[in-house]
Amino acid sequence: MVVGQIRFTQIEGSTMRIFAYSASLIILSFYLTTGHAQSDTRTVTVQSGFIDANTYIAYSEEQKAIYVIGLIEGALLAPLFGAAEVEVQALLECIKPMNNIQVAAIITKYVEENPEKWHQGAHVLGYAALMKACLR
């Protein structure tokens, strides 16, 4: 399925609660974190999300793929909450050729390689993983 310019793999029979939580958290995290990238003198506080990385790691591949849909949907809406459109656009350009399963694999790899951060919010590590992958 295509949403905007991003392709998503449709997943049957999965709970959409993960998607709804993810979307709302990611909107907030992109809004709060993009300001930090604009100025090194500004401090940004990112609130705890519904799930931490421990929970994300325990998800099935299908649940991770659904979580990523919420992550990207949140990024798409972030400018409505004041996030810098140029940063959101850069992220979207990076992931444009990917589907949600590939994005989930990028995030999962980052989380698995950083066990010292598993207590942090999955939304924060998802953002960090995508920034690392997209800024190469």
| Structural domain contains residue 7 | no
pLDDT digits (tens, 9 = 90+) for 10-34: 554 555 555 555 555 555 555 555 4
Tell me if 133 sits within 8 A of 106, measured CB to CB: yes
If phi > 0 it is left, if psi is from -120 to 50 it is alpha, else beta; for residue 13 that is: left
Cβ atoms of 44 and 36 within 8 Å: the answer is yes
Chain segment 66-76, per-residue pLDDT in tens? 999 998 998 88
Within a domain: residue 32?
yes
Tell me, yes or no, whether 8 lies in a domain: no
Write the pLDDT tens digit of every residue in 80-128: 988 888 888 888 899 999 999 999 999 999 999 999 999 999 999 999 9
> Domains in the chain: how many in total?
1
Q: Is position 44 within any domain?
A: yes
Instruction: Give the closest residue to 20 by CA, choosing from 57, 62, 82, 71.
Output: 71
In a domain, 2, yes or no: no
Domain interval for residue 97: 14-134
C-alpha–C-alpha distance, residues 6 and 29, integer Å: 20
Model confidence pTM above 0.85: no
Q: The tokens of 70 are what?
A: 């919420």
In a domain, 4, yes or no: no
Q: Is residue 64 part of a domain?
A: yes
In a domain, 118, yes or no: yes
Torsions phi, psi of 121, nearest 5?
-65, 140
